[in-house]
Amino acid sequence: MKSFFADDVLLDSDYAYQLYKSVKDLPIIDYHCHLDQDAIARDGKFSNIGELWLKGDHYKWRAMRLCDVDEYYITGEASYEEKFYKYAEIMPMLIGNPLYYWTHFELKEIFGIEEALNKDTAHSIYLRANKKLKSMSVRSLLKSFNIEFIATTNDPVEDLKNHQVYEGINVSPTFRPDKLLSLDNTYSKELEKVCGFKIVSLDDLKKAIVSRLDYFAKKGCRISDHGFLEFPSSIADEKLAKQLFVKKDSLTKEEKDSLFGHLLHFLMSEYKKRDIVVQLHFAVTRNINTKMFKTVGVDAGFDVMSKEIDTTNLIKFLDSFNDEDRPTIILYTLNPNTISSLACISGAYRHVYIGAAWWFNDTLNGIKRNLDLVSEYALLGNNLGMLTDSRSFSSYVRFDFFRRILCNYVANKVIYGEYSEVDAEKLVKNICYFNIKSLLKL
C-alpha cells in the first residue's frame, strides 16, 4: 500500500514516475482561466487559507451543498475560518472527487502539509497554512508554480490596464464577447461609451468590435473565447443581417439565430486577421436553481451539463470557411458524449483542436476518457494540455494532476509494448508545454 499522497501518487510504475519527473517542473501556460488580473497587479495577499480556498470557488461550494452544509458557510456571512472548518469536515466524503486530489495536492505543494484534511486535523492545518500564508502573496504563489503565461477572461468593454508582465509572468487578456453578441441595449450603451460613438447600425457594431479587438490585440491578446448552449443553425448574409439588426429588439428565435451566426462568422474572420486563437465552449445550461441564482448570482455552482450539441450546425459553421480563412479553433464540450464526434470533425478541417477535459470532466476518469477518445478518434500528439478554467490562485495543482495522469497513460502504452519508449518523453513534454507555447507563438 502506498503512503498517503506519496510523490508517485497516480503513477502506477517506476517508468510512469520517470516520465512524470521529465515534465513536473516545466513552466505553466494557463490559456483559459478566470483569475482576477487586478489582484495580480496589486500583488494581493490572503487573510487565511479559508479565503484562498473558498472565495469564489464554485467547485468547493457545490461539494459543500452536496454534503448539506448550510449556505451560511458557503456564500453566506460566516467567516472564512468557519467556512474552512466546514469544508474540512466534508473532505472524507469526497473520495474519488477531483477536489479531494486538488485539496491535498495544494496542501502538499503550497504548504508542505502531507496529512489528510478532516474534522480532526482541520485546526492544526489551518494554523500551519496561515503561518506560511503570511509570507506569501498572489505573485509569489504564481511564481512558486512556475507560471509563464496567464490568459484571463475579459469582456470587450474592459480597460485591460492591468494586463502586462509581472515578474516574468505574462498576464494577457482573452476576448470574451458573449454579452456583446446578445445585442442587449444596456450593454450597447457601455460599448458606445468605450468606443466613443453611437451604435445604430450593423456597420457601427462591426466598427465597435474591430475597435475593441484592436485594443485587445495591442494589450497582448492571443486568444478569444465564446460560450453558448448550441451553435447557430444559419448564417445571415450581409444584406439580411443589416435588416435584422434594425429590428433587433423584435426578432423571432430563427432570426436572432441567423443574426448571431452572421456576427460569429464576422468575428472569426477578424480573429484570423489578428492571428487570435478561438475557443468555443458549449453544452452548458446556466443558473438552473432560480431561487439561488436570484440570491447569490452567477458562477456560484448552479451551471450544469446540458444535452449533446447538434454537430450538424457545427459542421455547417466550420464548412462556411476555406481552410486558409478559418482561424485556429479549440472545441470544448461539457457533455463528454460529444467528444468522439468532435474529434472526428476536427480531422476534417485544418487547425481545429479538441480542448482539455472541461469543468465537470477534469476528474481522474474524465481526463483519462478525454485522452482515450482524442487519441482514438483524432490524435494526441498535438494535444494542447491542461488549463485551470479557475478563479482560484491555488488551482495550479491541476496541472500537476493532469501531468501525472498523462504520464501514467503514456507509460502504460510503453510498458505493454503499444508505444515507443524513444518517443514517449518528447510526446509528454509537447503536450504539457511546447504545443500550446508554439500555437500561441509565445
DSSP β-bridge partners for residue 333: 282
Q: Is 4 within the bounds of a domain?
A: no
Nearest to 94 by CA among 113, 69, 67: 67
Cα–Cα dist 328/168, whole Å: 27
Let me know if residue 246 belongs to a domain.
Answer: yes
For residues 213 and 150, state if they share a domain: yes
pTM for the predicted model, two decimal places: 0.97
Long-range CB contacts (within 8 A, 24+) of 264-271: 264/181, 264/226, 264/232, 264/235, 264/317, 265/235, 265/317, 265/320, 266/206, 266/209, 267/177, 267/209, 267/224, 268/321, 268/326, 268/327, 269/325, 270/209, 270/210, 270/213, 271/213, 271/224, 271/327
Grid cell locating 363: 476528474
CB 227 within 8 A of CB 182: no
User: What domain range includes position 190?
Assistant: 14-44+138-439
Grid cell locating 130: 496561515
Query: Are 36 and 173 contained in the same domain?
Result: yes
Is 312 part of a structural domain of the chain? yes
- E-state strands within 102-161: 147-154
What CA–CA distance (Å, rounded) separates 25 from 30? 15
Is the four-CA dihedral 302, 30, 334, 227 of positive or negative sign?
A: positive
Q: For the chain, how many structural domains are there in total?
A: 2
**Is 199 found in the same domain as 86?**
no
C-alpha closest to that of 339 among 277, 383, 397, 391 = 383
Q: ∠ CA 19-22-26 to the nearest 5 degrees?
A: 135
pLDDT in tens, the chain (442 residues): 899 999 999 999 999 999 999 999 999 999 999 999 999 999 999 999 999 999 999 999 999 999 999 999 999 999 999 999 999 999 999 999 999 999 999 999 999 999 999 999 999 999 999 999 999 999 999 999 999 999 999 999 999 999 999 999 999 999 999 999 999 999 999 999 999 999 999 999 999 999 999 999 999 999 999 998 788 999 999 999 999 999 999 999 999 999 999 999 999 999 999 999 999 999 999 999 999 999 999 999 999 999 888 899 999 999 999 999 999 999 999 999 999 999 999 999 999 999 999 999 999 999 999 999 999 999 999 999 999 999 999 999 999 999 999 999 999 999 999 999 999 999 999 999 999 999 999 9
Question: Are 70 and 148 part of one and the same domain?
Answer: no
**Alpha-carbon gap, residue 75 to 41, rounded angstroms:** 26
Q: Where are the beta strands (DSSP E) in 308-347?
A: 329-333
Are 282 and 301 in the same domain?
yes
Grid cell, residue 439, equals: 500555437
The single-letter DSSP state of residue 221 is -
* Residue 327 exposed, middle or buried by CB count within 10 Å (0-12, 13-18, 19+): buried
Last residue of a domain, one of 90, 110, 136: 136
**Domain membership flag for residue 192:** yes
**Cβ neighbour number for residue 190 with a 10 Å cutoff:** 15
Cell numbers placing 59: 467547485
CATH of the domain at 52: 1.10.2020.10
Written as nine digits, the cell of 180 is 456583446
Evaluate whether residue 5 is within a structural domain: no
123 and 159 assigned to the same domain? no
Both 279 and 132 in a single domain? no
We report the CATH number of the domain holding residue 375 as 3.20.20.140
Same domain, 76 and 193: no
Amino acid letter, residue 17: Y
Last residue of a domain, one of 113, 136, 159: 136
